[in-house]
Structures are given as structure tokens and as C-alpha cells.
């Protein structure tokens, strides 16, 4: 049912980073064999339905199952979504196994009130809700306001 409405399906295997261990202690990391078995099944389902399947931020080669190594945020994907053609730029990716172009987060940790347990940006949901209440849409900051002693610097992008 999904295939006619999407141009691709992107997945990655869970990366057990510190905040995730805190937010979802019930998760168990997959072994290399588990990842391979899951990739084989997912690749077979995608092939059966003619769905382009790719990884993002995943180490390992699953091309033998028809799974394409790519990224979720590539210039090609963003260009097609916005009917723009970007010039090709060399980039390093964001971490091992990542094929996305370099980007920067525009928020602050513990500020989103949505409560997604897999989120790397929140460790404490109560604190995030409290911080969110401090947000002023009229301020250039995520939380609070610029003070006279603050310095604003252009980030390297």
C-alpha cells in the first residue's frame, strides 16, 4: 500500500548511544548476524514490492539484499523535493556510516516537549518541558533572550 506513495524507504539500525541507554533501557543491541538477517528480510520485502530501500548512518554493506547505502539528507534528495539542482559538494558526513551532507542542529538539548524516547537531544523529558515553557517566539534564541553580556558569533557552516 505504501509503494505508490513514496520514492524510497530509509532505515538504520539502532545506535546505542548514552542517552538512549537512559531513555530506553529495555533495548538490546543487535548483533552483526541479527542485522544481516533483518536486512535480508527487509530487502526481500522491498524487492517484492518494487520499493527503493536504503540505509542511513549504518555501517555494513547490505547491497547483496538490494539495499542501497545512502543518506537521509543528501543534496539529491533535498534537490528533488524542492525542485532545485544543487552543485556537487564534497563532504565528510556526520559520523561513521553517514552519507548525508554536513549539517548543524539548530536547537538546544532538552528543549523539545514531544517526548520521543529515541531522541538524542533530550535526556530529561521534565526538563525539556520546563525549558520549552521558556521559549519566546520573538527571541532569536531557543530559550530566553539575548543579554548585553552575550556575544553572537557566526557559526562555520
Least Cα distance to 67 among 49, 50, 98, 46 occurs for: 46
pTM over 0.95: no
CA distances from 18 to 60, 84, 118, 123 (A): 22, 38, 11, 9
CA atoms of 150 and 1, how far apart (whole Å): 53
List CB contacts of 17: < 8 A, sequence separation 6 or more. Answer: 120
Q: What is the pLDDT of residues 129-146, one digit of tens each?
A: 999 999 999 998 888 899
Task: Dump pLDDT digits (tens) for 74-129.
Answer: 888 888 889 998 887 766 656 666 777 777 777 788 998 998 887 778 888 899 99
Amino acid at each position: 500500500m505504501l509503494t505508490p506513495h513514496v520514492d524510497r524507504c530509509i532505515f538504520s539500525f539502532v545506535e546505542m548511544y548514552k542517552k538512549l541507554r537512559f531513555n530506553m533501557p529495555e533495548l538490546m543491541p543487535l548483533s552483526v548476524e541479527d542485522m544481516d538477517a533483518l536486512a535480508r528480510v527487509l530487502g526481500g520485502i522491498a524487492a517484492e514490492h518494487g520499493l527503493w530501500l536504503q540505509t542511513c548512518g549504518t555501517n555494513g554493506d547490505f547491497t547483496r539484499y538490494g539495499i542501497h547505502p545512502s543518506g537521509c539528507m543528501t543534496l539529491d534528495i533535498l534537490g528533488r523535493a524542492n525542485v532545485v539542482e544543487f552543485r556537487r559538494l564534497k563532504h565528510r558526513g556526520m559520523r561513521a556510516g553517514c552519507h548525508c551532507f554536513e549539517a548543524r542542529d539548530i536547537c538546544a538539548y532538552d528543549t523539545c516537549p514531544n517526548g520521543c524516547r529515541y531522541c538524542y537531544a533530550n535526556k530529561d523529558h521534565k526538563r525539556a518541558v520546563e525549558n520549552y515553557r521558556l521559549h519566546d517566539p520573538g527571541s532569536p534564541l531557543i530559550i530566553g533572550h539575548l543579554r548585553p553580556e552575550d556575544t553572537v558569533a557566526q557559526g562555520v557552516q
